[in-house]
Amino acid sequence: MGHTHRVTATTSDEGPAVPVTIRDVARASGVHISTVSRTFSAPHLVNPDTRVRVLACAEDLGYRPNRAARALITGRTHNIGLIIADIANPFFPPLIKAAESQARHRDYHVFVADTNEDPATEEELVHALAKQVDGVLLCSPRMSNSLIEQLSREVPLVVVNRQVTGLPCVLMDVGQGARAAVEHLVGLGHRRIALLGGPRSSWTNREMRRAAGAAARAGHAELTVLGPNAPTVGGGSAVAEQVRRSGVSAVLAYNDLMAIGLVEGLDALGVRVPQEVSVVGVDDSTLSRLTRPKLTTVATPTATAGRTAVDMLLQQDIESPRGARGPGAGTALGVRRTTAQVMLQTDLVIRDSTGPGPHARPARPLAARPGPASPRGPERTRARPPVTPSPPTAEE
């Protein structure tokens, strides 16, 4: 596979033509370049007759305003950068699409970049994007908090899935989700539960550990933390053996990918889910409904997060336009801006990958033993009113 076969190779003169600028249009329509400029950026300032003439010339010259040059002087690019930890993770597409749609409504474009979960790439991308966008959405960053704060002085930032003091953040209450998941498992009669950790530098990871640990203690269950692991299918299947050896009867995974990988891995070892081990994921990605057994998972409001993040960025942006020292405007130092932190609720969605554990109450023996093929619909437990987030940890 992947063998290359060159079918055709020709040369032609059909290149991108010489770029046509505002000057060419001005010359063609016999007006000054400033009039052409106004025709596009402030049409009400130019005489209707001239306007149509200019537009006509622009049309058949194929003129398009150079957005980069425009940005140089206005300080606004009308672009938003969206930096994503791993574009192959089905968690992100809904977020991306929601952000794009929200941005489009506000006449902005979104440029997405993928970091492969690598902090160095993350930093580099922020620098690369800095002057070409009006702000950057940092999704599930793997950098340290201090580096994020530092970068935020270079370009307006909104952080998703991480809490950074002084910066606008969109958080999902995975703590509450993890607690609901553990309570669900405890309620099913599980007393030995494993938590499959994700990347070490993930805020979500820390929140889950904290909340799952507390919930386990409250439920008199024992929680084993396994990890950190790569937050991928491979990362999940890689720990299957370890999970089996640990002797737990239920697992809460960092995300759906790991949960699915774990189910795969356990299956290969001959361990049945949910009969022998129950598995819970996080994200409620499209995947969770497609695999068998269907995954019990903590639903995160991904699309809402995308929309909210864009809103927060644009709001902040509008208040303090970049390059605020216009001609004659003096130097505007330290523009005030508002930084809000928003916490979104999560839901536990119960499907077929969780079942009764070794300490299940024998009451209602039939109803209490819903096999993976049981026809009951998905059950949703709404998370409780969100709590205030834990104080931000010192570093990462």
Partner DNA sequence: GGTGATTCTGCAAAGGTTTGCAGTGAAGTA
Partner DNA sequence: TACTTCACTGCAAACCTTTGCAGAATCACC
Site for a copy of itself in 78-137 (CB under 8 A): 79, 87-88, 90, 93-94, 96-97, 100, 109-114, 116, 125, 127-128, 130-132
Residues 280 and 184: beta-carbon distance below 8 Å: yes
Tokens 């699309």, residue located: 303
Q: Which entry of DNA, a copy of itself, none binds 46, CB below 5 to 8 A by partner kind?
A: DNA
Q: Which is nearer to DNA, 2 or 330 (CB)?
A: 330
The residue among 240, 294, 246, 295 whose CA lies nearest residue 271 is 240
Q: Which entry of a copy of itself, DNA, none binds 222, CB below 5 to 8 A by partner kind?
A: none
Q: Which entry of DNA, a copy of itself, none binds 2, CB below 5 to 8 A by partner kind?
A: a copy of itself
Q: Which entry of DNA, a copy of itself, none binds 326, CB below 5 to 8 A by partner kind?
A: DNA
Residue 314 binding a copy of itself, by CB under 8 A = no
The residue among 71, 177, 81 whose CA lies nearest residue 133 is 81
The residue among 79, 23, 36, 137 whose CA lies nearest residue 322 is 79
Q: How far apart are CA 258 and CA 254, in angstroms?
A: 7
Give the shortest CB-208-to-a copy of itself separation in angstroms.
18
Q: Which is nearer to a copy of itself, 9 or 363 (CB)?
A: 9
Pick one of 2, 48, 270, 391: the residue that binds a copy of itself (CB under 8 A).
2
Give the shortest CB-6-to-a copy of itself separation in angstroms.
6
Q: How far apart are CA 268 and CA 132, in angstroms?
A: 48
**Residues of span 197-216 touching a copy of itself by CB under 8 A:** none
Residues within the interface to DNA (CB under 7 A): 19, 21-23, 30-35, 37-38, 40-42, 44-51, 63-66, 69-70, 72-74, 323, 325-328
Q: Which amino acid is present at 395?
A: E
Give the shortest CB-109-to-DNA separation in angstroms.
16
Give kind and range of the element (H or E) at residue 172.
strand 169-172
In angstroms, the first-to-last Cα distance of the chain is 42
How far lies 285's CA from each of 94, 162, 255, 306, in Å? 9, 20, 9, 15
Mask of contacts with a copy of itself, 264-293, x by CB under 8 A?
A: x---------------------xx--xxx-
Q: How far apart are CA 36 and CA 40, in angstroms?
A: 7
Residue 177 binding a copy of itself, by CB under 8 A = no
